[in-house]
Amino acid sequence: MDLTVKIRNKTLPNPVGVASGTFGYGEEYAQLTDLSALGALYTKALTVEPRPGNALPRLVETPAGMINSIGLANVGVERFLTEKIPYLETLTCPVILNVAGSTEEEYASVISRVDSQNAIWAYEVNISCPNVKHGGMAFGTDPVQVERLTKTLRKLTDKAIIMKLTPNVTDIALIAQAAEAGGADAISCINTVMGMVVDINSRKPAIPAISGGLSGPAIRPVGVAAVWRVSRVVTIPVIGLGGILTWEDAVQYLLAGADAIQIGTGNFVTPDASVKVLNGIISYMKEAGFQKIEDFHGHF
């Protein structure tokens, strides 16, 4: 049985990764699960300068999910290189750095400054960030911006570039096509869905940021549909995420066209969810007679 997934010039050992922002840098989960079993570890988002993040509280539970507005809190490039890279170098699983920014130049600066690090296997580019040079509109809502940003980053590295798409658009397929046209090696989708909770006692939003990103099982059907749409219009690998808690959830994504998946909020519920999901996928493949991940595709 072949569980590998090829992206650009590298190969994931299996299709199960852990999503950015839900797993820290791996060290936080090292005593709770087997990191060597991960198909990929997607790090917390990194920006050029440190960011303290949004005011507390940043999380609020919702039925079948949660809303977060973390504000891209992170240590910045310099501290990342001195404090995080040494640990990441000890890991045997592929490490994919999530990159964020407020301008094209900031995205480019992050990649330029860390690209020499062998611990970094690939980049996942968070294009849900607002572009301050275009009135604060998120990069990922405009195909022209997406293609231009992807082209800019493609010139800077020989490592794989994965563009992470927001679902908060009219047609996610157009955004995916723009990313591929710009030179992306893979697409990951979906990021969180915009949501809001109002505290009826205080008569104010439940978090100071007012709105945030909805994740968890509530968005799984949105993610599965997005993967189905995207996988039919691009030729590069598609990585599905959004609401995956169990192996059955992951299999839905794979059958819809995903080549790999990421577990996000599910890590908070079950810290070793990645191992359980991988074992479930393997059992499903044996029962179905599947020999490789591609066998999940083309059934509808």
Cα dihedral value 276, 230, 158, 145, nearest 10: -130
- Residue 299 buriedness (CB in 10 A; 0-12 / 13-18 / 19+): exposed
d(CA 107, CA 262): 22
Q: Report the run of H or E that residue 126 belongs to, with start and end.
A: strand 122-126
The residues, ordered by sequence, that sit 6+ positions from 200 with a Cβ below 8 Å of its Cβ are: none
Q: How many CA atoms lie within 13 A of 229 on its CB side?
A: 18
Listing DSSP states for 228-275 in one string gives HHHHTT-SS-EEEESS--SHHHHHHHHHHT-SEEEE-THHHH-TTHHH
Residue 116 phi, psi (nearest 5): -80, -5
Residue written as tokens 């996988």?
231
Q: How far is the C-alpha of 100 from the C-alpha of 83, rounded, in Å?
A: 19
Residue 74 near residue 45 (C-beta atoms within 8 A): yes
Main-chain dihedrals φ then ψ at residue 5, nearest 5 degrees: -135, 120
Task: Determine which one of 66, 95, 129, 245 is catalytic.
Answer: 129
Catalytic annotation present for 129:
yes
User: Active-site residues: which are they?
Assistant: 129
